[in-house]
A and B are shown apart, each in its own frame.
Chain A
């Protein structure tokens, strides 16, 4: 499965190069043919290593174009190094598979911060070169050995204002308030923000949220299990709100702002109690482009490139200086903008690094039992 996806990535890469005019049609078809007919042929050739090229990978969709326009193209123009952005599924497992296969074709991949500790422990990713990347351009809570935030996102409480009768939930404190807000709740399947919402909803104070009281959260979940609809990806979460299946629920702020815009405020969100998490670029060991990848990551920290991503994709700047420069319409959708940030809670990455695998499995088991 991993291999399959990996080949799809390479195919995408080839197609993108074709679209940019770097490959002619014949070469493209040849490349695609090689992928379908002879994986072994491909595995033996170093696809991206010969050229001075940096390959960035994220989870696909609009993010490919956004990273390309906001980050890749400006860097490529300055540094004269080609940067390719491709879509895939660069989970921790995919990185492990790639590194252990010895055929590493990614230089930087989208990651949750807590993956860094897990992958770093097994020497699957590199420590950041902080002589190039400036740790002072990121909030200290989002700087780690194996990476620092390149962008921020928040898992906020979104709600359907029509169904709540215009009432605004008090952050996640009303997450379990089924009396005033009857209806189902959207719930993040991949844990970030899920237990937080439940605990805050059952009366835990924000400053005592971490370490998460898993036992308590699970007990609450068990009591109201039928009230939660799990979503695994951003599109699915949007669909739950659009279809009117949920009255509120945790959702990425990027998706919440899209819903707000398209529904003219009918589907919206509150910053209160949002769980702010860093998006990090993890760098696999022996990445093909070598140390140049850290020049790219450093260039991403520039305020204008941080703001460009916010404009195109909605991901918030990790650099507070960028948030301070925003016009009012963008301040509204930036989880890192100081007045918004103060209403939210930064995620505790250490807790996730230590507990993620176990609690994630238990969480899925609980929801399925």
Chain B
């Protein structure tokens, strides 16, 4: 097939160019269900954020004037960014190791990545609490062995939240990274070595740039998921760390300030949409979320 023919073929099969009516009919029920159960409620959340308690942008104005709201936003972004950094870094190491391990080892590593993935987030948060609290497993062991004299504050603060969230997020980082690394042609690495580059140079100049799309995909996935975390910060933060989701929950259920709650939820939603839009210029979002 020559280039022109290939181009024509691509155009013909491009989903937006040629999507037969019958296919639309097939997905119509799903679109309707999504419209009623998903788009509808989201629209009402957006609507509430500009109408409750009084019409206008009063709720959004609070973002500029309220230190408390800014603090919630700031800690949400800071913690999500740190979680992304650590989870991606650790995930990269795991994926890289998997790539070079024997098939048997690879299966074991995958199992250890995936099994915690299936454990409820609530159970994991309480497990960390048991391990890390003042008179918990870790502190008791450290104190009784004489390594430290006063227990470390590892939980009910930001450190605890980070530990819990990074732990939760590692599988989400490993999977896209590993998929990406598998697609890297090993012969390129061999070529680099045969041309005299050291293993380190080969990694930095060849492998790392080739795995960059995987890093971007993993980081985006982790960051977006981290922004909406509720259970882990609520339990491991012990009230010291309030992220958006927890704040929204309090406004909706406890203090019944729905305008403020829905405003914060909308801010989260809009942020995520913008993030995805911005990142779609760098990575193929459809591929990232398995649509391709």
Q: Bound pair: A and B?
A: yes
- Which A91-126 residues have C-beta < 8 A from chain B? 91-94, 96, 118
Known contacts A245-B133, A368-B240: A360-B254 contact under CB 8 Å = yes
Query: Cβ of A94 and Cβ of B253 under 8 Å apart?
Result: yes
Query: Cβ of A362 and Cβ of B238 under 8 Å apart?
Result: no
Q: Give CA–CA (A70, B251) in the complex, Å.
A: 33
A145 interface residue per 8 A CB criterion: no
A229 interface residue per 8 A CB criterion: yes
Q: How many residues of B contact A (CB 8 A)?
A: 30
Closest Cβ of chain B to A217, distance in Å, is: 16
Query: Cβ of A369 and Cβ of B255 under 8 Å apart?
Result: no
Q: Chain B residues near A245 (CB, 8 Å)?
A: 133-135
Q: Chain A residues near B255 (CB, 8 Å)?
A: 356-357, 360-361
Q: Give CA–CA (A230, B239) in the complex, Å.
A: 6
B156 interface residue per 8 A CB criterion: yes
Query: Cβ of A92 and Cβ of B254 under 8 Å apart?
Result: yes
Q: Is the interface of A mostly helix, strand, loop or mixed?
A: helix
Q: Give CA–CA (A189, B235) in the complex, Å.
A: 12
A325 interface residue per 8 A CB criterion: no
Query: Cβ of A368 and Cβ of B252 under 8 Å apart?
Result: no
- Which A194-237 residues have C-beta < 8 A from chain B? 229-230, 232
Closest Cβ of chain B to A109, distance in Å, is: 13
Query: Cβ of A2 and Cβ of B68 under 8 Å apart?
Result: no
Query: Cβ of A96 and Cβ of B256 under 8 Å apart?
Result: yes
Contact of A362 among B68, B72, B239 (CB under 8 A): B68
Closest Cβ of chain B to A100, distance in Å, is: 10
Q: Chain B residues near A229 (CB, 8 Å)?
A: 156, 238-239
Q: Give CA–CA (A283, B178) in the complex, Å.
A: 55
B126 to A, closest residue via Cβ: A239
Q: Chain A residues near B106 (CB, 8 Å)?
A: none
Known contacts A229-B156, A243-B133, A244-B135: A365-B254 contact under CB 8 Å = no
The 8 A-B residue pairs with the shortest CB-CB distance in the complex, in nearest-first order? A230-B239, A357-B255, A365-B68, A93-B253, A368-B242, A91-B253, A93-B252, A92-B256
13 contacts between A and B (CB under 8 A): A1-B252, A229-B238, A232-B239, A243-B135, A244-B135, A245-B135, A360-B255, A361-B250, A364-B239, A365-B68, A365-B72, A367-B239, A368-B237
Best-buried of B135, B136, B250, B251 by chain A (most CB within 10 Å) = B250
Known contacts A229-B238, A230-B239, A245-B133: A190-B254 contact under CB 8 Å = yes
A9 interface residue per 8 A CB criterion: no
Query: Cβ of B241 and Cβ of A368 under 8 Å apart?
Result: yes
Query: Cβ of B256 and Cβ of A118 under 8 Å apart?
Result: yes
Closest Cβ of chain B to A92, distance in Å, is: 5
Known contacts A229-B156, A361-B68: A367-B240 contact under CB 8 Å = yes
Closest Cβ of chain B to A367, distance in Å, is: 5
Q: Chain B residues near A357 (CB, 8 Å)?
A: 255-257
B245 to A, closest residue via Cβ: A1
Query: Cβ of A2 and Cβ of B71 under 8 Å apart?
Result: no
Q: Give CA–CA (A118, B253) in the complex, Å.
A: 13
A304 interface residue per 8 A CB criterion: no
- Which B236-292 residues have C-beta < 8 A from chain A? 237-242, 247, 249-258
Query: Cβ of B71 and Cβ of A368 under 8 Å apart?
Result: yes
A245 to B, closest residue via Cβ: B134
B134 to A, closest residue via Cβ: A245
Q: Chain B residues near A190 (CB, 8 Å)?
A: 254
Known contacts A40-B36, A229-B156, A243-B135: A365-B256 contact under CB 8 Å = no
A69 interface residue per 8 A CB criterion: no
Beyond A96-B256, A244-B135, 20 additional contacts (C-beta under 8 Å) are A2-B252, A2-B253, A92-B253, A93-B252, A93-B258, A94-B253, A189-B239, A229-B238, A230-B238, A230-B239, A232-B239, A243-B135, A244-B134, A361-B257, A365-B71, A368-B75, A368-B237, A368-B241, A368-B242, A369-B68
B250 to A, closest residue via Cβ: A364
Q: Give CA–CA (A96, B71) in the complex, Å.
A: 28
Q: Chain B residues near A118 (CB, 8 Å)?
A: 256
Q: Chain A residues near B258 (CB, 8 Å)?
A: 93, 96
Query: Cβ of A89 and Cβ of B253 under 8 Å apart?
Result: yes
Q: Give CA–CA (A315, B68) in the complex, Å.
A: 36
Q: Give CA–CA (A232, B133) in the complex, Å.
A: 17
Closest Cβ of chain A to B59, distance in Å, is: 13
- Interface readout for B24-48 with A: 1 if CB under 8 Å, 0 if not? 0000000000001100000000000
Q: Give CA–CA (A364, B252) in the complex, Å.
A: 15
- Interface readout for B210-252 with A: 1 if CB under 8 Å, 0 if not? 0000000000000000000000001001111110000101111
Query: Cβ of A369 and Cβ of B71 under 8 Å apart?
Result: yes
Q: Chain A residues near B133 (CB, 8 Å)?
A: 243, 245
Closest Cβ of chain B to A146, distance in Å, is: 15
Q: Chain B residues near A189 (CB, 8 Å)?
A: 239
A92 to B, closest residue via Cβ: B256
B260 to A, closest residue via Cβ: A361
Q: Chain B residues near A39 (CB, 8 Å)?
A: 37
B130 to A, closest residue via Cβ: A243
A365 to B, closest residue via Cβ: B68
- Which A315-369 residues have C-beta < 8 A from chain B? 356-357, 360-362, 364-365, 367-369
Closest Cβ of chain B to A37, distance in Å, is: 12
Closest Cβ of chain B to A249, distance in Å, is: 13
A90 to B, closest residue via Cβ: B253
Closest Cβ of chain B to A93, distance in Å, is: 4
Closest Cβ of chain A to B162, distance in Å, is: 15
Best-buried of A39, A91, A356 by chain B (most CB within 10 Å) = A91
